[in-house]
Structure 1
Amino acid sequence: MTQDSFDTIIRNGTVAAASGMGVMDIGISNGKIAALAPSLAGKAPSQIDASDHYVLPGGVDTHCHIEQISGAGLMNADTFETATRSAVFGGTTCTVSFAAQHPGNRMRDVVADYAKLAEKGALIDYAFHMIVADISGENLRTDIPKLIADGHRSIKIFTTYDKVRQDDHAILDIMAVARNEGALVCIHAENDGLIRHMTDQLLAQGKTAPKYHAASHPREAEIEAIDRMCRFAQFTGARVMIFHVSTREGAQIIRKARANGVPIEAETCPHYLLQTVDILERENPARFMCSPPQRTADDQEALWEALADGTLQLITSDHAPYRMDETGKFANGADAPFNRIANGQPGLEVRLPLMFDAIVSRGRGSVQDFVHWTSTAPAEAFGLSKKGSIGVGFDADIAIWNPTATRTYGANDLHDNVGYNPYEGTTIMGFPVTTIAGGEVVMTDGRLIGSPGRGKRVAMAAQR
C-alpha cells in the first residue's frame, strides 16, 4: 500500500479492534477500513489525532422506531433525518428500524414506501425489520419470502396490542417461514390476556393515572410470553430474538432455553438497566412510560448478570419518540387514562453515552464489553456483516470517545424531535466527540457535518 492511498488516517487512538485493543493508527479508503498498524507511514488528505481517546466501532442500534405509525395509528415524532441526526451525536452509525404493516396492507408495499422515507432522510446506514400484522393473501406466501431473499431478514411480531398482535397459530406459521427462508423472528413478548385483565381491573377502580401503567403490564405477562416463545422456537427450530427483556424470571427462562440448545437470543435496553418502576411517581410521568414497564433494582441486577454470562447479547435503545403534547403522548387528551397514552422514550442519542458510563466508567465491564453489547453483537445478530467492528475490510463506521469528558443531561438537549430528555439531571463520564460514517466525518465537537440522504440501506446476510 502506497503512502498516498488513504483518504483519512486516525492516529494514536486506543483502538478496540476485532483483533484486540491497543494504541494504533487506522487508514481509511473509499469508506472502508484499509489498514491497522501501530504506526502508518505517509500522509492523507484528512488526519485525525485521537491521542488519549478511545477509537471504537460506531454504535449499531437494532431497535429503533423511526417515522413509523404505531399500532394505535399515531405517527411518532422523528423522521429519518431527525432520528439519525440524533444518532450521530450519540456515536451511533447504523440503525435498524421498523417497516410497520397494518391489517389490510401488502408487506411488499409497506417496505417499498418505508424505503423511500429512509432514502430521503437518513444520515447514516440503515436496515429494516418487517413488522408483520397481516399474514393473509400473498403476504406470508409470497411477499415475506421475497423480501427476506432481498435482505430484509428480520421479522417483528407482537403477542399483544389490538391492531398488530398475532395469535399462536399465526406466530407458528411465521416462524416456520422464517426458519425455511433464513430470517430472524423478533418478538415483543407479553401475554395479552393478562394485560387486558389488569387494565380492566385498574380502570374499574378509577386508577387511571400514568403511574398505573406498570401495574397493567404485570411481570407475569412477560414471563409467560417469553416462556411460550422459547417453546415455539424449540418446536419450530426458528431463530428467535426476544426484545426488551425486563425481568429476572424472563432472563432465567432464556438462560435455561439456551442451555438446552434452543435458538434464542435476547436484548435489553438502558431504561431497564438504569430506571426502576418508581420513576412513574415523578412529575410528568408519561415521559417515562414504556412497555414492558420498568421493574425493580433486583431485576436490574439480574439483567446485568445475564449480559455478563451471555444470556442477553444486545443492548438497544428501543427509541420510541413521542412529544409531550397533543401530537404524541397526549393525542387522546391531557387527562387521558394510562392505557391511552403513547408508550416509549427517546433513546437513540443517549444509549451509548449512558452505557459507556455504566459499563466502562462505573466498572460494570470493560471497553470490549461495551463494544460487544452495543455494536458487535447487534451487527452479528442481524447479519450486518461489515458493521459493528474495527478491522480491515469493515465499513469505516467509527466513534472517537473522550473517556474523561463529563456531561449532565438537560431538560431538552437532544438532537431528535421529541422535546425532552428522560435522563435530565443524569451526569455521565465518557462521550463521543467525533462520529465517522462510511469514512466521512458526520459529527465532530458538537457540530453536525453529514447531510440527510447520505445513508444507504444495508442488506442483512442469511443467518441459518
Structure 2
Amino acid sequence: MSYDLVIYNGLVVTAADILPKSVYIGVNNGIIETITTAKITGKKEIDAEGGYIMPGGVDSHVHIDQDNAPAGDNFESGSKSAIAGGTTTMIPFAIQPKKEYDLIKVVEEYHGRANKNGGSYCDYGFHLIISEPTQEMLEISFPEVVEKESITSVKVYTTYPRYKLSDEQLLQILLTNRKNNVTTMVHAENSDIIDFINKRLSEKKLTQPFYHTVSRPQIAEDEASYRAISLAKMIDVPMLLVHMSCESALDHVKKAQTDLFPIFAETCPQYLFLTGDNLKHDCCNHGNHDDKFQGAKYICSPPLRSTQKDLEGVWKHLINGTITVFSSDHAPSKYDHPLGKKKGLINGIPHFKDVPNGLPGIETRLPLLFCYGVETGRITPQKFVELTSTNPAKLYGLSESKGSIGVGMDADFTIWYPKNKINKFELKNEMLHHSIDYTPFEGMEFTNWPRYTILRGNVCFDRDNGGVIGGQIGSYLKRKASTLAGPMKPLNPIFE
C-alpha cells in the first residue's frame, strides 16, 4: 500500500514513549493511517536522519489581531511565524468589547479577522475573553456560543481596568463555566496592589520602563493566585492560571494539586530565560545603547522577575510537573511604532504604564525549550511533548486529533535535526517570520530548530528548502471539553 506521506528513520516521541528509528509513519488524507516497523513507501517520503519526530506544537495562549495591539501580528503573519517555529495549532482570543453582550457576534467578528489576508497558515481555535458579564448574557448568549462555536475555554482577569472582574463576578463565571463544561483561564495579579504602587511611582516621577517590574511585585501574583484557587475550590471547578512567573504563586498550585483539586498552571519562555535587567536602558542585550527607552521592548505582565534564582524557581515547577502547559503568550507590538511600544514615550518622557503589554514569542517557544531543556538534559523529550503539545490539546478539548502521534490523529509533526547536525547560531530578528521589529531573545544561542513542520500531512515548513512553503491552509477547530480534569463532586445545591 502506498501513502501520501511516509516519515521514517527518526525517534518518534509522545508524552509517554520514544519509539525506535525502525518505525515508519504512513499518512493518507491528512490523517496518520499506520505506525509500523514494516517498510512502507509514499508519494512523498521524509528521512528524519535520526532526529526527533514529535507532534506539531499546540500554542494555547496567543494574542493575534487584537484592538489593543494595533501594531501587533495579524493572523497571516502570526500563523506564518507559528509554522516556522514548529507550531501547527494556536488558540488566540476573541475579546468581548464593553457593552457587547451578543457573544456569537463577537466570535463571528474574529472569524472575519482570521479569514482576512488569505487566512491562517496553521489550525486555530478561539478562547473567549469575558470583560463585562451580565446575568442574561451568561444564561443565554454564553451557552449559545459554546454550542454553536464549540468554544470550551474562557479567560478572565483580576487586573487591568478594561478587563478586571470582581470576586463575585469571577464566582459567577466559574459557576457558569462548570455548568457548560468550559475551562476557566485566569490572569491572576492583585490590581489594588499594582494601583497602589503605580500611584507612588508616578508621584516620584519613576516612570522609566524598568519601574514596570517594580509596579507588579511577586506578592501581587502570589495573592491573586491563592485567591483565584480559593474561588475555584468554592465552586469545585477546574482552573488554569496563565503565564505564571514566580515560585511562590506556583507553590499554591502545587499545594492544590497535592490536595487533588484540578488546578493547572501555565508558564512561558520569558519566565525561564529573561530577567528584569532587560528593562534597564544600559542592558547589554539592547542593540542601541543611545536609546534609553529600549527596555520597553520587555514590558509584559506579569513582569520579568528579578534574578536567575527566580527563573530557577519556575524551572523547578516545570520539571516537577506543577506546570501543565508551556505557551508563548505571544502578545507583540512593534517597538518603533507610535501605537506600539513607543506609545509610552510621550514628548520624550517615558511612561511605562502607556506601553502596550506583551512580547513576541510564537516562533521561538519550541526552539527555546528544546535547545535549553531537551538538548541540555533538563527535561526529557517526552516531557517536552507533554508540555508543548499533549497537555494543551487535552486541556482545551483537542486531544482526539491534536497533540500526539497515533493512528487516527491529524498528521501534524515537528521534525528536529539530529543533534549536532546544524551549527550553533545566535538568533537575530531578521531570521523570524512575525511582523514585529524585534525579538526579546535576540542574541541567544540555538543548537537546533524545527527542520520540518507538517500540518495534516502537508509540509508547511522546510528549513533547508525554502522555509515556509505551505499555503494558508489552516482551519478553525471546534473543540470538546477538557479531558485533563477528573470527575467533579456534585454541585452544591445552593448554586443550582
Q: TM-score range by the shorter chain?
A: over 0.9
**Counterpart position of 1:102:** 97
AA aligned opposite 1:52:
G
**Counterpart position of 2:290:** none
Pairing partner for 1:285 from 278, 287, 295: 295
Q: Is residue 2:458 matched to residue 1:448?
A: no
Pairwise CA distance, 1:137? 6.1
Unaligned runs of 5+ in 2: 287-293, 486-496
In 2 relative to 1, CA 300–18 (structure 1 residues): closer, same or farther, beyond 3 Å? Answer: closer
Pairwise CA distance, 1:136? 2.2
In 2 relative to 1, CA 305–166 (structure 1 residues): closer, same or farther, beyond 3 Å? Answer: same
Unaligned runs of 5+ in 1: none
Identical aligned pairs, as a percentage? 36
Pairwise CA distance, 1:139? 2.2
Pairwise CA distance, 1:298? 2.0
**Counterpart position of 1:66:** 64
Q: Is residue 2:381 matched to residue 1:367?
A: yes
Distance in 2 (CA, whole Å) between partners of 1:18 and 1:175 is 30
Encode CA deviations 1:62-96: one digit per residue, 9 max, x unaligned.
Answer: 000001122xxx42511101000000110000001
Q: Is residue 2:38 matched to residue 1:39?
A: yes
Pairing partner for 1:345 from 345, 354, 359: 359
TM-score (norm 1): 0.95
Pairwise CA distance, 1:19? 6.2
Distance in 2 (CA, whole Å) between partners of 1:149 and 1:323 is 36
**Counterpart position of 1:82:** 77
Pairing partner for 1:10 from 7, 12, 32: 7
**Aligned-partner SS, 2:92:** strand
Pairwise CA distance, 1:143? 1.6
Encode CA deviations 1:5-61: one digit per residue, 9 max, x unaligned.
Answer: x111012111114662121211011111111112333x2211111112211111100
Encode CA deviations 1:271-305: one digit per residue, 9 max, x unaligned.
Answer: 00111121212241111111001113222222122
Distance in 2 (CA, whole Å) between partners of 1:412 and 1:341 is 23
Map 1:228-377; keep pairs closer than 5 Å: 228-281=227-280, 282=283, 283=286, 284-295=294-305, 296-324=307-335, 325-333=337-345, 335-377=349-391
Distance in 2 (CA, whole Å) between partners of 1:382 and 1:215 is 34
Pairwise CA distance, 1:149? 2.6
**Contact (CA 8 Å) 1:248, 1:298: kept in 2 or not?**
no
Pairing partner for 1:423 from 441, 465, 489: 441
**Counterpart position of 2:494:** none
**Aligned-partner SS, 1:442:** strand
In 2 relative to 1, CA 411–31 (structure 1 residues): closer, same or farther, beyond 3 Å? Answer: closer
**Counterpart position of 2:479:** 460
**Contact (CA 8 Å) 1:57, 1:389: kept in 2 or not?**
yes
AA aligned opposite 2:403:
G
Distance in 1 (CA, whole Å) between partners of 2:71 and 2:404 is 31
**Counterpart position of 1:193:** 192
TM-score (norm 2): 0.89
**Contact (CA 8 Å) 1:32, 1:394: kept in 2 or not?**
yes
Distance in 1 (CA, whole Å) between partners of 2:252 and 2:362 is 28
Distance in 1 (CA, whole Å) between partners of 2:262 and 2:16 is 27
Encode CA deviations 1:291-329: one digit per residue, 9 max, x unaligned.
Answer: 001113222222122122221111100001100121311
Pairwise CA distance, 1:462? 1.7
Encode CA deviations 1:120-172: one digit per residue, 9 max, x unaligned.
Answer: 42111111110000112642121211222341000000100011111111100
403-412 or 298-307: which moved more? 403-412
AA aligned opposite 1:396:
A
**Aligned-partner SS, 2:431:** coil
AA aligned opposite 2:405:
I
Q: Is residue 2:177 matched to residue 1:178?
A: yes
Pairwise CA distance, 1:258? 1.3
Distance in 1 (CA, whole Å) between partners of 2:316 and 2:329 is 21
**Contact (CA 8 Å) 1:413, 1:420: kept in 2 or not?**
no
In 2 relative to 1, CA 443–212 (structure 1 residues): closer, same or farther, beyond 3 Å? Answer: same
Encode CA deviations 1:382-419: one digit per residue, 9 max, x unaligned.
Answer: 11121111111111110110133333101433101111
In 2 relative to 1, CA 340–423 (structure 1 residues): closer, same or farther, beyond 3 Å? Answer: same
Pairwise CA distance, 1:331? 2.5
Q: Is residue 2:408 matched to residue 1:388?
A: no
**Contact (CA 8 Å) 2:54, 2:405: kept in 1 or not?**
yes
**Counterpart position of 2:488:** none
395-404 or 266-275: which moved more? 395-404
AA aligned opposite 2:406:
G
AA aligned opposite 2:83:
V
Distance in 2 (CA, whole Å) between partners of 1:174 and 1:399 is 37
**Aligned-partner SS, 1:64:** coil
Pairing partner for 2:108 from 106, 109, 112: 112
